[in-house]
């Protein structure tokens, strides 16, 4: 059984990845499982830089192959904002954050409200070069929140192919199409290659 550290304190994220990696010969650990309380600073200017910083930082701390991700929302009309600042956009969190984004978009017509969710996963290994994979989900920013599921910007993120916001989709459907699920499936291919190559 090979070991993999998932650089997160989020049990939901761990469960999601465990399901996608279920058929690989892997034992997954969270930071809490290993008693790691050090915080690796996310000082990068891009999702890729932050994912790499976290993966390589926690790989060095644990000595284990490590998966870390960074993700967020990019809105075309805002020049790609909130981007890496998605979690703290406007200096507010929760419902106030949705309102802040809506205020920024107040005069933007529907056809210019294009956006995408991005997730970059970095896989760091003590004896291999770090590898990066990415998942994206295109959508449109709604004029008002819709739906009660999901979290973060999900109530404002309308997915054309689904004719619904992410907050209106079932958790199962969201996890099939989401940027994180796409990146995780790509990460699974990297891990399968690593496992195949190792004795």
70 is in an annotated binding site: yes
Average pLDDT over residues 80-85: 94
Beta partners for residue 123, in sequence order: 67, 131
Please tell me which residue, 90 or 55, carries the higher pLDDT value: 55
Establish whether 161 is a catalytic residue.
no
Q: Of these residues, 69, 70, 103, 163, which one is catalytic?
A: 70
Query: Per-residue pLDDT tens for 37-70?
Result: 999 998 999 999 999 999 999 999 999 999 999 9
In this structure, how many other beta carbons lie within 10 angstroms of the beta carbon of residue 67? 26
**What six digits make up the tokens of 89?**
């956009």
Domains of the chain, earliest start first: 2-197 (3.90.950.10)
Model confidence at 173, pLDDT cuts 50, 70, 90, reads very high
Quote the pLDDT of residue 53. Answer: 97
Please tell me which residue, 185 or 11, carries the higher pLDDT value: 185
Share of the chain above pLDDT 70, in %: 98
User: What value does the mean pLDDT of the chain take?
Assistant: 93
Contact present, 15 and 41 (Cβ < 8 Å) = no
Burial 39-55 (b: 16+ CB within 10 A, else e): ebebeeeebbbbbbbbb
- Alpha-helical runs (H) found in 43-170: 47-62, 95-104
179 is in an annotated binding site: yes
82 is in an annotated binding site: no
Contacts of the segment 94-102: beta carbons below 8 A, 24+ positions apart: 97/152, 97/153, 98/145, 98/153, 98/155, 98/156, 101/75, 101/141, 101/153, 101/156, 102/143, 102/144, 102/156
Query: Per-residue pLDDT tens for 142-163?
Result: 999 999 988 889 999 999 999 9
174 is in an annotated binding site: yes
Determine the Cα–Cα distance for residues 67 and 4; give it in Å rounded to an integer: 7
Contacts of the segment 38-46: beta carbons below 8 A, 24+ positions apart: 40/7, 42/70, 42/84, 44/70, 44/84, 45/84, 46/84, 46/120
Query: Per-residue pLDDT tens for 94-144?
Result: 889 999 999 999 999 999 999 999 999 999 999 999 999 999 999 999 999
Average pLDDT over residues 167-192: 93
Model confidence at 177, pLDDT cuts 50, 70, 90, reads very high
Total-model pTM = 0.91
Quote the pLDDT of residue 16. Answer: 84
Quote the pLDDT of residue 199. Answer: 58
């Amino acid at each position: 059984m090979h070991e993999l550290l998932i650089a997160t304190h989020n049990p939901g994220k761990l469960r999601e990845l465990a399901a996608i990696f279920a058929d690989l010969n892997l034992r997954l650990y969270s930071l809490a499982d290993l008693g790691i309380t050090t915080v690796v600073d996310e000082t990068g200017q891009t999702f890729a830089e932050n994912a790499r910083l976290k993966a390589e930082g926690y790989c060095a701390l644990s000595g284990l192959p490590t998966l870390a991700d960074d993700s967020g929302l990019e809105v075309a009309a805002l020049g790609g904002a909130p981007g890496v600042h998605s979690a703290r956009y406007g200096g507010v969190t929760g419902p106030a954050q949705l309102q802040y984004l809506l205020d920024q978009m107040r005069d933007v017509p529907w056809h210019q409200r294009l956006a995408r969710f991005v997730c970059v996963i970095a896989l760091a290994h003590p004896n291999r070069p770090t590898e990066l994979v990415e998942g994206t989900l295109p959508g449109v920013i709604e004029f008002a929140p819709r739906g009660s599921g999901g979290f973060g910007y999900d109530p404002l993120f309308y997915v054309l192919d689904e004719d619904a916001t992410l907050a209106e989709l079932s958790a199962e459907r969201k996890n099939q199409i989401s940027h994180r699920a796409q990146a995780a499936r790509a990460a699974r291919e990297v891990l399968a290659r690593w496992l195949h190559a190792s004795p």
